[in-house]
Amino acid sequence: MKKFSIIILVLCGLIPNLIHAQDTRYFEMRTYTAHEGKRPDLIKRFQDHTLKLFEKNGIENIAYFIPTDETNNTLTFILAYPNKESRDLLWNKFANSPEWQAAAKASEANGPLVAKVEQVFMENAPDLTPEIIRDDYQGERVFELRTYTMMPGKVDAIHARFRDYTRELFQKHGMINVMYWYTVEKDPAVQTKLVYLLAHKNEKAGKASFEKFGKDPSWIVVRDASEQNGKIVEKITSVYLKPLPFSPLK
């Protein structure tokens, strides 16, 4: 019996690693800039047609957001494919489906909806977040999308700092770690970027949490120690987002 219990404990310890190893999903974050006055129509098209057609064609809906900044006329969404190799196959299957083409044509009867499309391909960041967190949070909250451009050769350093310290300090100051990715760049010579999502009660709370985090003596010690051989991060961008009602991640 004792031996059996030990085996169970060992297997339980292996399960998270096995789950992580099996997560071969390939993520795509797309940001659409809508034509003036067309974002409501774009949102309606997603709600009525696009999400269902993505799922029908094997594409997983992860999250749908609009910025908290009302002057920002964009819509950002995150999709997942089973793996990198399946992305083009599934996207083309969706794009060429008669149902999608009919929905797109009908929605653009009074003109095109999308003025600009930006896309970023990403893979899960090992050891940071093994899979999407879909908790049972009740009530409204906002998300913060942060993108880090690292100094040359500093990807391992930022990874270690987040893995060993930063995420825990975020949590200490009331921020929820949701998901971490590394970008897949078209040019292999371009260094990957770290992209991650945090959740806050609201934008004001998020900014207050970051202010406390930045002044935390524990963080200052960690930051200074990690930068003994030079700065790690070259540039940080931050965008506050609110989930749309039909977003799987809220």
Looking up residue 130, the CATH number of its domain turns out to be 3.30.70.100
Please enumerate in sequence order all residues whose Cβ is within 8 A of that of 153, keeping only pairs 6 or more positions apart, or say none: 191
User: Is the pLDDT assigned to residue 135 strictly greater than 90?
Assistant: no
> Three-state DSSP class for 188?
coil
130 & 76 share domain: no
Task: Provide, rounded to the nearest whole percent, the portion of the chain with pLDDT above 70.
Answer: 88
Asked if 159 and 232 touch (Cβ cutoff 8 Å), the reply is no
Asked if the structure places residue 15 within a domain, the reply is no
The answer, yes or no, to whether residue 184 has pLDDT greater than 90, is: yes
Residues 63/243, Cβ–Cβ less than 8 Å: yes
Written as six digits, the tokens of 84 are: 């990198």
- Among 213, 200, 233, which residue's Cα sits nearest to residue 169? 213
E strands, the chain, in order: 26-34, 60-67, 74-81, 114-124, 142-150, 176-183, 194-200, 233-243
User: 192: domain range?
Assistant: 125-243
Classify residue 249: in a domain, yes or no. no
Verify that 97 and 199 share a domain, yes or no: no
18: in domain:
no
Q: How far is the C-alpha of 155 from the C-alpha of 233, rounded, in Å?
A: 9
248 assigned to some structural domain: no
pLDDT digits (tens, 9 = 90+) for 102-112: 999 999 999 99
User: What share of the chain has pLDDT > 90, as a percent?
Assistant: 85
The pTM score is: 0.89
> How far apart are alpha carbons 169 and 45 in whole angstroms?
40
Does 231 share its domain with 162?
yes
The answer on 136 and 174 residing in a single domain is yes
Residue 16: inside a domain: no
Chosen domain end from 94, 122, 150: 122
Alpha-carbon separation of residue 27 from 9, 31, 59, 78, 200 (angstroms): 33, 13, 10, 7, 23
Q: Using the 3D structure, point to which of 107, 122, 137 is the last residue of a domain.
A: 122
pLDDT digits (tens, 9 = 90+) for 47-78: 999 999 999 999 999 999 999 999 999 999 99
Domain boundary among 87, 122, 157: 122
Q: Assess whether 175 and 201 both reside in one domain.
A: yes
Query: Do both 116 and 175 map to the same domain?
Result: no
Count up the domains in the chain and report the number.
2
How far apart, in whole angstroms, are the C-alpha atoms of residue 143 and residue 239? 8
238 and 134 share a domain? yes
Mean confidence (pLDDT) of the chain: 91
* Together in a domain, 80 and 130: no
Rg of the Cα atoms in the chain: 20
Q: Are residues 130 and 227 in the same domain?
A: yes
Tell me: do 171 and 156 sit in the same domain. Answer: yes
Q: Look at residue 3 and tell me if it is in a domain.
A: no
Q: Are 132 and 116 in a shared domain? A: no
pLDDT in tens, 221-233: 999 999 999 999 9
Spatial separation of the C-alpha atoms in residues 46 and 246, rounded to whole Å: 9
Using CA atoms, how far apart are residues 25 and 23, in angstroms rounded to an integer?
6
Q: Are 54 and 110 in a shared domain?
A: yes
